[in-house]
Amino acid sequence: MQEQDFAKVVQVNGANVYFEHHQHPEAAETFVLLHGFLSSTFSFRRLTPLLKENYNVISIDLPPFGNSEKNNRFVYSYDNLANTVIALLDHLKVTNIHLTGHSMGGQIALNVMKKAPSLVEKGVLLCSSGYLKRMNWPVTMLSHIPFFHLYVKLWLTRSGVRRNLENVVHDATMIDDEMMFGYLKPFLEEDIFRALTRMIRDREGDLSENDLRNIDTPCLLVWGEHDRVVPITTGHRLKQDIPNSRMVVLEETGHLVPEERPLEVLEHIQQFVSASTEEPFGRKETQPLFKKGLSQTLISET
């Protein structure tokens, strides 16, 4: 049996969803990757090849990002995006996954764990967003104004791809033309700005402390010590609220951990998924496991 890689768009939950699927000839375990806000499967370009060596891997473009549909009639709440992920995995007949989410993708992963706990064997949260409130009502009201999507476009244009990338990585020298174009590409389509306007209205805020405390899925939290987008204090708080969780901190690392430290992230993930599911680790202390000198979206969370 040979390895098989393919990319496909399927309609699930009322949206055309793009995903990339690697089927390993022998692996029984499957990783599902969810990217962050204003990002796409591109953000896992350094981690996916490493995971593919030993696991099945499914990387999803969450609507309206990447190559997925950008429809301003779709409901872009985190709850409905979680429904979309669940529907896609049901379509693919995939179960018992290791669900991995970066930034906003981590919050959607948590929503999936809440809604379909039997689907997820283990969760990996890479600098996951957390505790963000619903968009304030003046902005929500303004989003109903015709042509508001042009303001969204202007905001993104003014912030600029390079400046956003400099905000999410610790070492700006890693930013090259390939990286800049990869994060820019999804925003060359005009429809995304209308969809982002709809997302502003639909975004209901992150899961509450009570919701988090009811998630029983074992979770690994991986953070960059210099994360300027989702500060490490959010990671510590999530670790306290998610009962069956542990946290590791990568030194000299920013927010974009799959790009910055893929080898270290892989090592932590492999240690985590190979541990017994019955091994208690909720009380484990947060600690940096990689010291200086060792070889980690365009994006700021709204």
Q: Classify residue 136 by burial, with Cβ atoms within 10 Å: 0-12, 13-18, 19+.
A: exposed
What is the CATH code for 4-290?
3.40.50.1820
Radius of gyration of the chain (CA): 18
Contact present, 100 and 59 (Cβ < 8 Å): no
Domain boundaries, the chain: 4-290
Residues annotated as catalytic (active site), given as ranges = 103, 255
Those residues with Cβ within 8 angstroms of residue 237's Cβ, 6 or more apart along the chain or in another chain:
130, 131
Single-letter residue type at 189: E
pLDDT of the chain, 302 residues: tens digit per residue: 456 899 999 999 999 999 999 999 999 999 999 999 999 999 999 999 999 999 999 999 999 999 999 998 999 999 999 999 999 999 999 999 999 999 999 999 999 999 999 999 999 999 999 999 877 756 676 666 777 776 677 677 767 889 899 999 999 999 999 999 999 887 888 899 999 999 988 999 999 999 999 999 999 999 999 999 999 999 999 999 999 999 999 999 999 999 999 999 999 999 999 986 555 454 344 444 333 333 222 233 32
pTM score: 0.88
C-alpha 70/C-alpha 47 separation (Å) is 26
Contact present, 250 and 257 (Cβ < 8 Å): yes
